[in-house]
Structure 1
Amino acid sequence: MVGLLNIGSLVFGLIAWILPAVHLQRHAKSTHKSWAAFSVISISACAISLCFQIFNTYHLVKIGDWTALMDIMGGVAFSAAVLLIVTVALNLMTLLLYRGKTQS
């Protein structure tokens, strides 16, 4: 069951990137009414993904698997930073693109 945390983290991380990217691709056809909901869902998916990684790290600490922790922490920290930076950047682009277009 703990092995699903990494898969869930990957899935939610992809959701965090795909939602704003798809919404940015469809901005010419969109009615501009749901961009805020997509951004909230995207940021929430990013938070869930990071939370799953924290739970996985907690599990490794709890069972005392220090070797695994030393092996993965550099990659986990780097990938968490990339996930957060790209998610925020995509949602900022969405905000800048749709700001003022929903008021009609």
Structure 2
Amino acid sequence: MGSLILGLIAWIIPTVNIMRRNKRGNNHSIPTLLSMGSCAVALWFQLSFNIYLIEINDYTALLDTVSTLKWVAAILIFVTISLNVISIVLNSKVLSRSFR
């Protein structure tokens, strides 16, 4: 449950940052770091859960979930990085216009 919430947070932060791009003087590096950090912690939670399944010898549950986890992790990383790059690019354009 924690990894799902942190994954959503990793997507919500840059989305809010993109929607607030017209605000001048905002520091956009901290939300980007928070987004990437929550993505990393969400992935760590999933790895910890897999280790837990190994420790309790529940290999059937591990085999059932590991292939899905691979794709979900890839989607989480790709979307998080994409949203943060879009946020950085759009906000850098706003900042460059404000200094003209």
Task: Give me the TM-score of the superposition, normalised by structure 2.
Answer: 0.90
Matched residue count:
97
Please, which of 24, 40, 45 is the counterpart of residue 47 of structure 1?
Answer: 40
Aligned to 1:23: 17
Compute the displacement of 1:33 (Å): 2.2
| Larger relative helix fraction | 2
Q: For structure 2, list consecutive stretches of 5 or more residues without a partner in the other structure.
A: none
Please, which of 45, 49, 70 is the counterpart of residue 63 of structure 2?
Answer: 70
Q: Percent identity?
A: 34
Q: For structure 1, list consecutive stretches of 5 or more residues without a partner in the other structure.
A: 1-6
Taking only aligned residues, the RMSD between alpha carbons, in angstroms, comes to 1.5
1:39-61 alpha-carbon deviations (Å, 9 max, x no partner)? 00000000000000000000001
Q: Verify the 8 A CA contact 2:18 2:91 in the aligned structure 1.
A: no
State the SS of the aligned residue for 2:62. Answer: helix
State the SS of the aligned residue for 1:99. Answer: helix
Compute the displacement of 1:83 (Å): 0.3
Please, which of 35, 45, 48 is the counterpart of residue 28 of structure 2?
Answer: 35
1:12-50 alpha-carbon deviations (Å, 9 max, x no partner)? 00000000001101212x224221110000000000000
Whole-Å Cα distance in 2 between the matches of residues 40 and 90 of structure 1?
12
